[in-house]
Amino acid sequence: MVTVRHNRVFTIALYTFREAVRQRFLSVLLVLALGFIGSATFFLQFNFGGSELKFIADFGWGVMFLFGSIVAIVTPSHLFFSEIEHRTAMTLLAKPLPRSTFLLGKLVGVVLLLAMFTALLVSLLLAILAWRASTMADFEAVQSAGQMTLSYAGCALMGMLQFLKLSLLSAITLFICSFSKTNLYAVILGFFVMLVCQLQYLARDHWGAIDFLPLRYAVLIVSKVFPNLQLFNVGEALLFRTVVPMPLRLVGSIGLYGLLYIVFFYLMAVWSFRKREI
């Protein structure tokens, strides 16, 4: 069922990327996100002290997730339905091109876009953190005492985890698109699923406390099927290394968790799309 032709995947991915970067709303979101992160330089006026860097970092990850999730959900949905509505999907799928290759090409194209998006935002966040750390006298004192260090490598690792999280959202959206009839429905359902994934940890921790049996098992299924996006929020531990830094093995596990879920939702999309009428 799953047949992948690597060259053709990259061909579709490249053209998907070229189409995606031309979308006006992407430029607007990118400028807004860069602007918001850049506005962290104005926090200087509030003089939070040593915790200001953590605030800037959290603010940056929050902006990245807010705008990144919009890109991650809206872009694949728009590109997918654009192919359907303009009937370019017909000319593509009338070629000897497996549907799995078509879908993977679309996903990889969006992932390339997300890589560019997160790289730009992480670069700006890193620059602001570095600049602010260099101007804060008390932070230098804390660093000198070895109590806490600002890790730029940790920031880059956190950026990669955010990129994986957003790619996972895109894979989920692609699966939703594979059975949705309209772009709007896919986007709304995509944001709803994102919300469920953000709150998945509640389902995981509290399903056993529900008395009503059907609801209990429904919540249990949610906790098993939907990924826990909160797992990716290890920014503070990665960015501000304390005496015991976060093990890289743990970061690798989180990355593998994200990758496995991306593959899972891609395969679900292939299964759902195989009989879709074009």
Partner 1 sequence: MSASAVSISHLSKDFRVGMRGVKLRAVDGVSLEIEKNQIFGLLGPNGSGKSTVMKLLLGLLEPTAGQCAIFGIGSHDIASRKEVGFLPEAPYFHKFLTGTELVEYYAKLCAMPRSKIAERTREVLAWVGLENAAARKVGTYSKGMLQRIGVAQALVHDPQLLVLDEPTAGVDPIGFERMATLLMELKRAGKTIFLCSHLLAQVETLCDRIAIMDRGKLVIEGAVDVLLDVQQQERIVVENVSAAVARQIRVLVEQQGGSVVHSEAVRLSLDALFLQHVHASVQSTEHDKAQW
CB contact at 8 A, 86 and 59 = no
Q: Where are the alpha helices (DSSP H) in the chain?
A: 6-21, 24-38, 52-85, 88-93, 99-135, 137-144, 152-179, 183-198, 200-206, 213-225, 235-239, 248-273
Q: Measure the CA–CA gap between 217 and 212, rounded to whole angstroms.
A: 9
User: What's the length of the chain?
Assistant: 278
Q: Which residues of 120-141 are buried (b: 16+ CB within 10 A; e: fewer)?
A: ebbebbbebbeebbeebeebee
CB of 178 to partner 1, least distance (A): 15
1 binds partner 1 per the rule CB under 8 A: no
25 binds partner 1 per the rule CB under 8 A: no
CB contact at 8 A, 171 and 269 = yes
Q: Measure the CA–CA gap between 67 and 263, rounded to whole angstroms.
A: 24
CB of 96 to partner 1, least distance (A): 4
11 binds partner 1 per the rule CB under 8 A: yes
224 binds partner 1 per the rule CB under 8 A: no
12 binds partner 1 per the rule CB under 8 A: yes
Q: Measure the CA–CA gap between 258 and 252, rounded to whole angstroms.
A: 10
Residue selected from 1, 45, 96, 135 as contacting partner 1 according to rule CB under 8 A: 96
275 binds partner 1 per the rule CB under 8 A: yes
Encoded tokens for 218? 């429904």
Kindly write out the interface string for residues 97-116 of this chain, putting x where it contacts partner 1 by CB under 8 A and - elsewhere: xx------------------
5 binds partner 1 per the rule CB under 8 A: yes
244 binds partner 1 per the rule CB under 8 A: no
27 binds partner 1 per the rule CB under 8 A: no
List all residues 6 or more positions away from 156 whose beta carbon is below 8 Å from its beta carbon. 122, 126
91 binds partner 1 per the rule CB under 8 A: yes
7 binds partner 1 per the rule CB under 8 A: yes
CB of 135 to partner 1, least distance (A): 44
6 binds partner 1 per the rule CB under 8 A: no
Residues 117-156 binding partner 1 (CB under 8 A) are none
The contact set with partner 1 (CB under 8 A) reads 3, 5, 7-8, 11-12, 15, 18-19, 22, 86-88, 90-98, 275, 277-278
